[in-house]
Chain A
Amino acid sequence: MIHILLFADLQEKVGKDQLELEEESISVKELKKKIKNEYGLLQLDQVMTAINEEYAMENDIVKSGDTVAFIPPVSGG
């Protein structure tokens, strides 16, 4: 099970702040594609991804038990 966290406009678009995905192991790229198709989240192409609170690359592998966060362009400060 992979835990997925959504923020800002992603959260509003999906209507939830968390998702769960039954996968043993999947690349960030594939995971994004899946979620993008399932929820129509076109903006996923423009978001960064964090695995367990660290920024990750598209080819990094997410494993069951990991927490993935999609990080839209940030606007703090």
Chain B
Amino acid sequence: MTDSLFEIVEEPIDVEAIIEKVKRREAGAITTFMGTVREWTKGKRTVYLKYQAYKPMAVKMLTKIGDEIEEKWPNTKVAITHRIGHLDISDLAVVIAVSSPHRKAAYEANEYAIERIKQIVPIWKKEHWEDGETWIGDQLETAAYPSGSPNIKDV
């Protein structure tokens, strides 16, 4: 891990290090979100996951999410790290930290960040079950691609 605010890494994520990146004297709140590997999804048992990324573009898109947040919630600071490669149950897949002078912006911006990650960041998850494996496509609960094809305005 480096000092950079937006990273794709292959080793386990150090949450404290991500929080340190957004700590500031003017902040009165820091929210963190941790996305972890879930064992059961709709009755199916996951043994482990593999994440793949288009790394340079993924970093670019994470940076873009940071820019969007700065515009929507001025005076917030965001750091996002996503892990790729082999992840076991309960491992941290993504950590988002947001600091702001007051808590509301930190909560809102943090939720915005994870929703945007699920829309625009080129990272793919492959589920490995006891009896097989498959790449998981779009998993937004809002049916982002109702026509069956991606919508450029989400980007």
Contact = CB atoms under 8 A, between A and B. Distances in A.
Interface of A: 5, 7-9, 12, 45-48, 50, 53-55, 57, 69, 71-77
B135 A77 contact: no
B122 A69 contact: yes
A74 B138 contact: yes
A51 B96 CA distance: 27
Nearest to A11: B52
Sorted nearest first, the 6 A-B pairs with minimum C-beta distance are: A76-B123, A73-B138, A73-B137, A8-B124, A53-B57, A75-B125
Contacts, number: 85
A14 B118 CA distance: 25
Interface of B: 35, 51-54, 56-58, 60, 82, 93-94, 114, 117-126, 135-139, 145, 148-150, 152, 155
Contact of B124 (A5, A55, A57, A75): A75
Contacts of B51: 76
19 contacts: A8-B135, A46-B137, A53-B54, A54-B60, A55-B152, A55-B155, A57-B152, A71-B54, A73-B138, A74-B120, A74-B121, A74-B123, A75-B118, A75-B136, A75-B137, A76-B53, A76-B117, A76-B125, A77-B114
A46 B148 contact: yes
B64 to A, nearest CB: 10
Nearest to A5: B54
A69 B121 CA distance: 13
A75 B54 CA distance: 12
A45 B149 contact: yes
Count chain B CB atoms within 10 A of each CB in A8, A71, A77 and give the residue with the most. A77
Contacts of B126: 8
Nearest to A9: B135
Given A46-B150, A69-B57, A74 B118 contact: yes
A25 B103 CA distance: 50
Contacts of B139: 75
